[in-house]
């Protein structure tokens, strides 16, 4: 039968039945496949994942892979293999080539004689040795294996020459897998697509949401810029440039959040020369690439008039932005009277995600 049930029949559950059935319903890679990976977690909650960590011994060519739990997915019809490593596994790396460096790969590999004819039915942590070269590359991972680390072995490296410099030679490759619906702690640079729209992952503290085609930042940190170098203008049309300041233009780049909406705040300490009748205006201009999507206007401006300087600010909600797209805010300024020079000091622009 194509429909496989487990823990139901007293005598007909096959090994394939067990592997194909949901394994704790982990992160899906397809309707019937699981994402291969290490189960995250550490003893004190300090680290993203501590399972299958590679710890080298200083001055030697040896290291130990620590205990952990993982799932290694094979072909969909074959199922996924759950693995538990309960004791550390020592590994010894071959000495370096006399002329060239190489890159070795440490993997968690599943052997299954029914499929690979290996004569083995077990999981193993092992080294896949790379080929020495002027520009070495890591070897391909074996079938049904999970890459854990790349290890750079420099030319002529041996225990007699100080061994592998473990602090700089390792590249962590360990992917993770979590219960479906859980937030996946991913490594930076992970290009694996999401499994379903609405899936979340955490990359170095940044929460991302899969929208069906791309990972978008779900919690965008507020963007902020400021200038404490006062500038002036007597222009009656909006201009980004101010005189008597080292800041040619106050600009702020930001990425639109998944909601496509942001809160924009801006302000300055404004003074209109010796005039109590003129006004100084500060308004945002929003561009996407070379296209202005929101021009400066008096409707959106911070406005103040007076011979005695005062600090003023405003806030507005921008919506209808393209999620994940890059935008730029430019502070624009003008005077209501060409005969009055307006001064702008302590300028700031802030953008944060909005619902």
SS3 state at 215? strand
Which residues, in sequence order, are bridge partners of residue 326?
Answer: 255
- Identify the DSSP state of 159: G
Contact yes or no for 301/258 (Cβ under 8 A): no
The pLDDT of residue 1 is 39
- DSSP-H helix ranges across the chain: 15-20, 113-116, 166-169
Q: Return the pLDDT at 217.
A: 80
C-alpha–C-alpha distance, residues 260 and 325, integer Å: 9
Separation CA 62–CA 44 (nearest Å): 27
What pLDDT does residue 236 have? 98
Question: Whole-angstrom Cα distance, residue 311 to residue 316?
Answer: 18
Per-residue confidence in pLDDT tens, the chain, 355 aa? 345 545 555 667 778 777 766 566 689 999 889 999 999 999 888 898 999 999 999 999 999 999 998 999 999 988 888 888 989 999 999 999 999 999 999 999 999 999 999 999 899 999 999 999 999 999 999 999 999 999 999 999 999 999 999 999 999 999 999 998 899 999 998 999 999 999 999 998 888 889 899 888 877 789 999 999 999 999 999 999 999 999 989 999 999 988 899 999 999 999 999 999 999 999 999 999 999 999 999 999 999 999 999 999 999 999 999 988 999 999 999 999 999 999 999 999 999 999 8
To which residue do tokens 């790379």 refer?
Answer: 130
Quick one: pLDDT at residue 205?
85
Coil, helix or strand for 113? helix
Q: How far apart are CA 208 and CA 214, in angstroms?
A: 10
Q: Which two tokens stand for residue 282?
A: 């500060």
Tell me what pLDDT residue 18 has: 76
Backbone angles phi, psi at 17, to 5 degrees: -55, -45
C-alpha 69/C-alpha 182 separation (Å) is 17
| Complete edge-to-edge strand list for the sheet that includes strand 37-38 | 37-38, 68-73, 80-85
Q: Can you give the three-state secondary structure of 266-309, one letter per residue?
A: EEEEEECCCCCCCCEEEEEEEEECCEEEECCCHHHCEEECCCCC
Q: Is pTM, for the whole model, over 0.75?
A: no
Candidates 339, 349, 343; CA nearest to 318 is 349
């Amino acid at each position: 039968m194509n429909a496989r049930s487990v823990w139901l029949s007293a005598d007909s559950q096959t090994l394939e039945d067990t592997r194909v059935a949901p394994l704790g319903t982990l992160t899906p890679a397809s309707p019937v496949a699981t994402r291969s990976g290490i189960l995250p977690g550490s003893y004190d909650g300090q680290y993203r994942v501590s399972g299958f960590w590679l710890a080298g011994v200083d001055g030697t060519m040896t290291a130990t892979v620590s205990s952990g739990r993982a799932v290694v997915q094979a072909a969909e019809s074959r199922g996924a293999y759950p693995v538990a490593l309960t004791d550390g596994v020592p590994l010894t790396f071959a000495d370096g080539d006399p002329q060239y460096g190489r890159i070795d790969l440490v993997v968690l590999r599943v052997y299954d004689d029914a499929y690979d004819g290996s004569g083995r039915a077990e999981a193993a942590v092992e080294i896949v040795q790379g080929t020495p070269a002027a520009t070495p590359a890591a070897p391909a991972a074996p079938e049904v294996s999970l890459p854990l680390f790349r290890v750079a072995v420099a030319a002529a490296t041996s225990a007699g020459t100080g061994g592998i410099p473990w602090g700089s030679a390792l590249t962590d490759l360990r992917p993770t897998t979590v219960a479906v619906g859980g937030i996946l702690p991913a490594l930076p640079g992970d290009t694996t697509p999401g499994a379903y729209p609405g899936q979340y992952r955490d990359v170095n503290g940044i929460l991302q949401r899969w929208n069906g085609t791309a990972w978008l930042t779900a919690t965008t940190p507020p963007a902020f810029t400021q200038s404490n170098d006062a500038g002036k203008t007597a222009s009656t049309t909006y201009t980004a440039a101010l005189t008597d300041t080292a800041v040619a233009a106050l600009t702020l780049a930001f990425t639109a959040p998944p909601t496509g909406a942001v809160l924009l705040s801006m302000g300055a300490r404004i003074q209109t020369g010796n005039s109590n009748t003129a006004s100084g205006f500060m308004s945002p201009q929003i561009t996407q690439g070379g296209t202005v999507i929101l021009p400066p206007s008096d409707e959106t401006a911070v406005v103040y008039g007076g011979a005695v300087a005062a600090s003023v600010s405003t806030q507005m909600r921008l919506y209808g932005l393209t999620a994940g797209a890059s935008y730029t805010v430019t502070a624009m300024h003008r005077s209501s009277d060409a005969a009055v020079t307006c001064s702008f000091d302590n300028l700031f622009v802030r953008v944060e995600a909005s619902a």
